[in-house]
Amino acid sequence: MRCPLQLQGSKPKVTMKLCIVVGARPNFIKAAPIITAIKKYQKKYPDLTYFLIHTGQHYDENMSEVFFKEMGIPMPDFHLKIGSGAHGKQTGEMIGQIEEILIAEKPAMLISIGDTNSTLAGALAASKLHIPVAHVEAGLRLFNKHIPEEVNRLLTDHVSDLLFVPTKLAKDNLLKEGMKSATVCLYGDIMYDATLQFNKVADKTSKIVERMGLTSKNFILATVHRAENTAGIEQTTRILDAFVQIGKDLQVVMPMHPRTKHLLQENKLFDHYAAGITIIDPIGYLDMLVMEKHARLIVTDSGGVQKEAFFQDTPCVTLFENSPWQELIDLGWITVVPPKSTEAIVKGVKKALKNKKGGTGSPYGDGNCGELMIKKIISFLNGDKKGKKGKEE
Ligand code: UD1
Ligand code: UDP
């Protein structure tokens, strides 16, 4: 039976209600420029709306709320308060609750960001309900399925309809996996948008360097939280012993992830390491940007921080088996030092301190990829689904 609207020749109204799922620190930071872009396009497309689900994967004030406040992210429409837990239980609870919300709210598309358990939960819940998924930061691969984020990335990519890749390498990874049923879009890196958007305000407002009595380019900024580096105390002490040794020559400042802090406390080692390393609580994004800029070297296992180091003109040592940012290894900004022994880390860091800065290049786009993504989502929802699948942009 034909619908009367079609008989009259008018088109059915396109709904452009988006659902954004966030849950962990890097999700919030990457969501901010996307929301800014949505707000910009709402002027032209009043039907473009969104709602925000916070899974509650991260919940401490300095792991969650601070980013909403500093980055002007509106409070979540739904806060699931899932909290910490084993991966299966945590992800499963998220999927169940997100599903209920999606059934009630009927968004036209769900946006999943990054590679956390919250990212995967959002993508799976939507895809089971045949709600199209856009994955922001698609295509990153370390080719090791023991890394929890690798599983999240792989599965999220493979149920997504729009794959927003940050780099050419990420695009090539997806094409090799034969992503025939999705559109791969190379518009740049959303973290570059965030850095450009917040650097000025960070420079104006953050007083962390003065407050901590630090001198610019006279300290190392370090972060360690990856499961591979914090699952067992032996591996963590291997790294922290290196920081203590390095700290004898150059102060090491370490905003410590709660996961790492809990591990040290459980093993009664927190005070021991706090004597040789300047350990502080996790800091807000604005303070972090400033610390990254003023550090002489960044030593980290964070996926995001190693790339921000480049944005902030600071060399980086990556304490992991590999880095997803091959272009920064090629340019000489990232030195990968697999943290297999204290000696290897000390040697790697000392060598990196002597190295010159990396070369110039702009592998992460023009800082407007949030806008390009929203523009693409609008055109996708307005009918360019057909015939465009499997295409690249
Ligand atoms: C998660 C992501 C990781 C990301 C990181 C960003 C997954 C599988 N991992 O790792 O990709 O790089 O977030 O920081 O999604 N905790 C608190 N308070 C909090 C949050 C966590 O105390 O607000 C502690 C809890 O003891 C918890 C532990 O940190 O068990 C780990 O938290 P979880 O979210 O499971 O993983 P992350 O290591 O944070
Ligand atoms: N970050 C922050 N405060 C901190 C440590 C990190 O604001 O104390 C920011 C950092 O600037 C980057 C993001 O958190 O934008 C990276 O998150 P994280 O290292 O937790 O996760 P990953 O990038 O490894 O997934």
> Using a 6 Å cutoff on CB, does residue 29 contact ligand 2?
yes
Q: Is residue 359 part of a domain?
A: no
Q: Is residue 11 part of a domain?
A: yes
Q: Strands across the sheet with 183-186, in order?
A: 78-79, 48-54, 16-22, 109-113, 133-136, 162-165, 183-186
31 and 100 assigned to the same domain: yes
130 and 17 assigned to the same domain: yes
370 and 282 assigned to the same domain: no
Ligand 2, atom 24, lies closest to the CA of 302
Specify whether 225 is catalytic: yes
**Predicted local confidence at residue 42, as pLDDT:** 95
Please identify every stretch of the chain with a pLDDT value under 70, giving residue numbers as ranges.
Answer: 1-13, 385-393
144 and 248 assigned to the same domain: no
Q: Is residue 222 part of a domain?
A: yes
Q: Is residue 74 part of a domain?
A: yes
Tell me, what CATH number does 373's domain have?
Answer: 3.40.50.2000
Query: pTM for this structure?
Result: 0.95
Closest ligand 1 atom number to CA of residue 226: 38
**Predicted local confidence at residue 148, as pLDDT:** 97
Q: Which of 135, 225, 257, 294 is catalytic?
A: 225
Q: Is residue 88 part of a domain?
A: yes
Nearest residue to 308 (alpha-carbon basis) of 190, 192, 168, 169: 192
**Which H or E run contains 113?**
strand 109-113
59 lies in which domain range? 4-189+366-390
Q: Is residue 361 part of a domain?
A: no
265 and 312 assigned to the same domain: yes
**Predicted local confidence at residue 93, as pLDDT:** 98
**Predicted local confidence at residue 176, as pLDDT:** 95
Closest ligand 2 atom number to CA of residue 304: 23
Ligand nearest the Cα of residue 195 is 2
149 and 57 assigned to the same domain: yes
**Predicted local confidence at residue 212, as pLDDT:** 98
> Using a 6 Å cutoff on CB, does residue 323 contact ligand 1?
no
286 and 344 assigned to the same domain: yes
The per-residue DSSP string of 284-339 comes to: -HHHHHHHHHH-SEEEE--HHHHHHHHHTT--EEE-SS--S-HHHHHHTSEEE---
Best substitution site from 95, 116, 120 to test ligand 1's pocket, by max atoms within 8 Å of Cβ? Answer: 116
Q: For the chain, what is the domain count?
A: 2
* Spatial separation of the C-alpha atoms in residues 373 and 164, rounded to whole Å: 7
**Predicted local confidence at residue 386, as pLDDT:** 45
37 and 79 assigned to the same domain: yes
Ligand nearest the Cα of residue 192 is 2
36 and 99 assigned to the same domain: yes
**Predicted local confidence at residue 180, as pLDDT:** 82
322 and 372 assigned to the same domain: no
Q: Is residue 163 part of a domain?
A: yes
Q: Strands across the sheet with 334-336, in order?
A: 278-280, 252-255, 220-223, 297-300, 316-318, 334-336
Count CA within 13 A, CB hemisphere, residue 255.
19
**Predicted local confidence at residue 389, as pLDDT:** 53
88 and 205 assigned to the same domain: no
Q: Is residue 31 part of a domain?
A: yes
345 and 219 assigned to the same domain: yes
